[in-house]
Structures are given as C-alpha cells and as structure tokens.
C-alpha cells in the first residue's frame, strides 16, 4: 500500500509504524533522554518513539515541543519520521533547527484524516522524498 501526502520536511525515513490513538505533546509527554512516551494518561505510555515512523493524527503542542524534538534528534532518540494529520509548525521547528545545527532532520509528511484512518495498526513504512508513504503490514 502506498499513499501520497504533503511534504512538510523533506527527507527519507523508514521504520516500524507507531500510530498514536490520542494527541500527544512532546513537552512533558516524551522523555528526551530515552524517547519513551511518559505522559501517564496517554494510552501508549511506555512506548518507544525512537527509530519509529510516528503517526500523530492530532498533534498538540506546547511552544517547548520543538526543543524536546531537538533534544531527541541530538541524542539519537528521535522518531525516524513524522506523519501528521494536522500541521504543527512548532513541533517541526525542532527538526529544522536540528538540520541547521548539523543533525539529520526528521522528515515529516502531512496526510489527510481519511488516509490516516486507512493505515494498518501494525507494520513498517517508508517516507520517500516525493511525499509518498509506502506501507508494509505485518
């Protein structure tokens, strides 16, 4: 299966999918040292985002989410890529700043809500530079 989206941050990424069932703020919701979701009330608390294609249908931000993403990038605990259901300029700023500091940015893709609903609960995926998301279900 492959779908098209809008490229928000160009690049290629590959990894297992982690589709969040609830919104998540990186500030206070993700441990920047480990890449673990630490928001106690989040359904996926304890899940690891490092190296995964993180699907955020409804991201929620704090103005500090970008700094958490930047810390994750610098520490090698960032998601391989982001697939968003809504644009979140503040979160993406962390990837842009990371690139300016010489780190590999986290590619980001925007998909429509109806497309996100079609993604398999488990599987791996690859973000291509042309804005396509290639999915392999387990």
Catalytic residues: 62
| Separation between Cα atoms, residue 66 and residue 19, nearest integer Å | 20
| Separation between Cα atoms, residue 68 and residue 129, nearest integer Å | 25
| Separation between Cα atoms, residue 65 and residue 43, nearest integer Å | 19
- Concatenating the DSSP letter of every residue in 99-122 gives HHTTSPP--EEE--HHHHTTS-SS
Q: Which residues contact 117 (CB under 8 A, 6 or more apart)?
A: none
Regarding beta strands 123-127 and 13-19, do their DSSP bridges make them parallel or antiparallel, or are they unpaired?
A: antiparallel
């Amino acid at each position: 299966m492959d779908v098209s989206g809008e490229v928000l941050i160009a690049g290629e990424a590959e990894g297992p999918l982690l589709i969040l069932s609830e919104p998540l703020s990186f500030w206070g919701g993700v441990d920047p040292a480990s890449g673990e979701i630490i928001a106690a009330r989040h359904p996926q608390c304890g899940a690891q985002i490092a190296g995964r294609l993180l699907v955020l249908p409804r991201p929620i931000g704090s103005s500090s989410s970008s700094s958490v993403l930047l810390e994750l990038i610098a520490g090698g605990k960032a998601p391989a890529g982001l697939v968003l259901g809504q644009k979140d300029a503040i979160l993406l700023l962390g990837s842009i700043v990371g690139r300016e500091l010489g780190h590999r940015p986290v590619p980001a893709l925007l998909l429509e809500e109806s497309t996100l609903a079609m993604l398999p609960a488990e599987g791996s995926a690859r973000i291509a530079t042309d804005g396509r998301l290639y999915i392999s279900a387990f």
